[in-house]
Amino acid sequence: MKAVGVVPSRKEVRQLEHPHPQITRDNEVHIRTLEVGICGTDREICTFAYGQPPAGDDYLVLGHECLGEVVEVGAKVRHFKTGDLVVPSVRRPCPDPNCIPCREGRQDFCSTWKFTERGINQRHGYMTEYFVEEEAYLTPVPKSLRDAAVLAEPLTIAEKGLAQAWLVQKRVPGWEHHNRDGKGRGHGKTAVVLGAGPIGLLGAMKLLIEGFKVFVYSRSPKPNFKADLAESIGAEYISAVKMGADDFSQKVGNIDLVYEAVGEGSVSFDVMRVLGINGVFIFTGIPAQKPAIPIRADSTMRNITLKNQALIGTVNASPQAFIDAIHDLGEFKRRWPAAVKALITGRHKIDAHRELLVGKAQGIKNVIEFA
C-alpha cells in the first residue's frame, strides 16, 4: 500500500510501501483512509526533532488527523458497520497497571509518559490507504460532515482545553457552567485567541459558540486572509505587530480567558502579563527549542497572584472531546459554512506530500486525499 512517512535513520521524508493491515481481533475495524490533515507536529517530525517509529521498524507512517470509511468490522464490533465514516484518535494507553488515567481510557493524562501516539510516537499513522483500529478509538461521523470531519482532531485540542477551563473556573463565583439563558456559558466574558492558524481559528469558533466575545491576536497585519476569516465568523482580529500587549489589553478590557495557539513563547508570555482578573490561560502550543528570551517575570507573577489567575497546559484529547468536536463541527457548518470551507486551504494528491511537509507552510489546513 502507498503511505507517506519518515525514515529517521536516513533523514528521509518520502512515499513508502507499507503492508496492508488485516483485522486480527474481534474488536477491530478495517478502515479506508479518505483524507488526512497536515499539522505542525507532522512538519516537526519531518525535521527529525520529534517522532519515533514503532519498535522494529525503521520508518514511521505519518498522519494523526484522519477521516476514514469503514470497510470491514470484527465479529464483536458493536457500533460500526461498513460504509460508516469515522475519525480515529491519536494516543494509545501505556502498559503500566498503576497508570490510572490510561486504565480509565484517559491516556491524554497518562501519568507515566509511556503512551504511544499514532503517526507520532511508536505507532504508524494514517497517511496510508487503509488501517486497522480498535472500535474503542473511533468516533462516528455523520455523512453530512464528510467535507469537514478531517478538522475534528485539531478541534479536539480546543474541546479538551475549554473543558479544562470550565473545571478550573468553577473556583470563580459568576463563571457560568450551564448555558442557562441560551447565550452560552461564555456570555459576557472576553476570550483572546493567540494565533490564527487552524488550532487558533477552530478555537475561536468554539469560543464563539460558547458565547464569548472573541479577539484573535496574531502577528500578520491586516488585511490578510486569516484576519478576514476570523472577522467573517464574528471575532475581532488585531495584529500583534501593530498593537503591543499593553495597548491591546487596554482596548479589550478584562481578559477572562486566553487560548494560546501560536506555539511561540514571547507573545504568549507578553499576553500572560495582561491576563485579566480571575483569568485563565490555556497553553496548547509546543514550541521548538530556541535561545532563552527575557520575560517580565515579576510583573507577570505579581498578576498571577493578585488576580487569582490559572494557567493550564493541555495536550491530546479525551474520547468525549472527539464526540464534542464532531458535534461542534456541525454547529460551525450551520453558522459559518463558507468559513469552515475556507479553513481547508487545499486537498492534495499524495505526490504533493514533500512540498506540504517540508516546503514553506502555506494557507490554513492542508489535506492529503487517499481515496
Q: Does 233 bind Zn ion (CB under 5 A)?
A: no
Residues 6+ apart with CB under 8 A from 302: none
- Select the residue interacting with Zn ion from 33, 41, 218, 268 (CB under 5 A): 41
Neighbours of 224 (CB within 10 A): 15
The dihedral built from the CA positions of residue 110, 58, 135 and 370, taken in this order, carries a sign that is positive
Least gap, CB of 87 to ligand BGC (angstroms): 12
115 Cβ partners below 8 Å, 6+ apart? 91, 92, 93, 94, 102, 107, 121
Our finding on whether 39 is near Zn ion (CB under 5 A) is yes
Q: How near is the Cβ of 249 to ligand BGC at its closest, in Å?
A: 29
Closest CB 181 distance from ligand BGC, rounded Å: 34
Residue 326 engages Zn ion in binding (rule: CB under 5 A): no
Q: Which stretch binds Zn ion (CB under 5 A): 39-47, 218-226, 229-237, 303-311?
A: 39-47
Residues pairing with 57 in the sheet: none
Interface with Zn ion, residue 368, by CB under 5 A: no
Query: Which entry of Zn ion, ligand BGC, none binds 315, CB below 5 to 8 A by partner kind?
Result: ligand BGC
Q: How far is the CB of 317 from ligand BGC (least distance, A)?
A: 7
For residue 312, the cross-strand partners are 282
Residue 197 grid cell: 492558524
| Per rule CB under 5 A, count of chain residues that contact Zn ion | 2
Bridge partners of residue 65, in order along the sequence: 37
Overall residue count recorded for the chain in this entry: 371
Task: Select from ligand BGC, Zn ion, none the partner in contact with residue 210, using the beta carbon and a kind-dependent cut-off of 5 to 8 Å.
Answer: none
Q: How far is the CB of 121 from ligand BGC (least distance, A)?
A: 6
Name the residue nearer to Zn ion (CB basis): 255 or 343: 343
Q: Which amino acid is at 139?
A: T
Contacts 24+ apart (CB under 8 A), 212-219: 212/184, 212/186, 212/187, 212/256, 212/257, 213/189, 214/190, 215/190, 215/191, 215/248, 215/252, 216/192, 217/192, 217/193, 217/248, 217/267, 217/271, 218/194, 218/262, 219/267
Residue 186: count of CB within 10 angstroms of its CB = 25
Nearer to ligand BGC, 315 or 352 (CB): 315
Q: Which is nearer to Zn ion, 269 or 283 (CB)?
A: 283
The partner in contact with residue 152, picked from ligand BGC, Zn ion, none with C-beta cut-offs of 5 to 8 angstroms by kind, is: none
Looking at beta carbons, which residue is closest to ligand BGC?
Answer: 41
Q: Can you give the binding site for ligand BGC, defined by CB under 6 A?
A: 39, 41, 64, 90-91, 117, 120, 153, 315-316
Phi, psi of 211 (to 5 degrees): 95, 0
**Which of residues 112 and 179 has its CB atom nearest to ligand BGC in the complex?**
112
Find which of ligand BGC, Zn ion, none residue 270 binds, CB within 5 to 8 Å per kind: none
Nearer to Zn ion, 50 or 166 (CB): 50
CB of 153 to ligand BGC, least distance (A): 6
Q: Strand, helix or coil at 345?
A: strand
65 versus 256: smaller Cβ distance to ligand BGC = 65
Judged by the rule CB under 5 A, the positions of this chain that interact with Zn ion are 39, 41
